[in-house]
């Protein structure tokens, strides 16, 4: 007997040349930063149209849960950057207790919140959540390795990215 390849999905070139991924720019803007409470709130406006929705799911588009986690991780990352005054960069190392509580369709404005719960020796942990209309749609505990910026150009790029997001640098004491 001969072994044959499974049939190719329709509408896809065979072989598939590359994965189709969008930029992971999840946060629309920083809203409020409280260094004393070690909290940050941000907005994440889900777009009306995106190639992500073509496959998730055809005819019933929903924001993938992994992108909800990414939104919480980015908000947590900006919190850590604000608390350390842009002196070190957080790298995602662990996600725990992630829960997706509801579906998020296109054109949905989301509020994303992060609170620092542990910090020290190159490590930080946050609790984060996403809300829509004051109702929780996702939550997670997220851990980061916090490392020195690898070079000044990367630090400058992060600063400029924060400016585009209207990160509240003044509230963080960053000139």
pLDDT of residue 23: 66
Average pLDDT estimate for 100-104: 96
Out of 35, 43, 50, 56, the active site residue is 56
Confidence of residue 149 (pLDDT cuts 50, 70, 90): very high
Q: Cβ of 94: how many Cβ atoms within 10 Å?
A: 11
Note the residue count of the chain. Answer: 175
Enter the pTM of the model: 0.86
59 flagged as catalytic: no
Q: Are 35 and 82 in contact (CB under 8 A)?
A: yes
Confidence of residue 12 (pLDDT cuts 50, 70, 90): very low
pLDDT of residue 36: 95
Sheet order of strands, 39-45 included: 29-34, 39-45, 109-120, 123-132, 135-148, 88-100
pLDDT of residue 128: 98
- Between CA 72 and CA 140 the distance in angstroms is 8
Confidence of residue 58 (pLDDT cuts 50, 70, 90): confident
Average pLDDT score over the chain: 87
Tokens, residue 109: 């404005």
- Between CA 56 and CA 151 the distance in angstroms is 37
pLDDT of residue 3: 54
Sole residue written with tokens 């908000």: 75
pLDDT of residue 16: 44
């Amino acid at each position: 007997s001969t072994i044959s390849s499974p049939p190719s999905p329709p509408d896809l070139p065979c072989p598939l040349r590359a994965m189709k991924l969008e930029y992971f720019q999840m946060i629309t803007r920083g809203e409020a930063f409280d260094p004393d409470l070690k909290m940050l709130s941000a907005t994440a406006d889900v777009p009306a149209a995106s190639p992500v929705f073509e496959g998730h799911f055809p005819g019933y588009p929903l924001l993938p849960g992994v992108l909800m986690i990414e939104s919480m991780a980015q908000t947590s990352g900006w919190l850590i950057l604000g608390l350390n005054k842009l002196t070190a960069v957080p790298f995602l190392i662990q996600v725990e207790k992630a829960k997706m509580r509801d579906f998020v369709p296109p054109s949905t404005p989301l509020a994303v919140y992060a609170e620092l719960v542990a910090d020290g020796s190159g490590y930080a942990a946050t609790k984060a959540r996403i809300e829509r209309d004051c109702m929780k749609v996702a939550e997670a505990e997220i851990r980061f390795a916090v490392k020195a910026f690898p070079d000044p150009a990367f630090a400058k790029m992060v600063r400029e990215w924060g400016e585009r997001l209207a990160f509240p640098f003044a509230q963080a004491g960053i000139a």
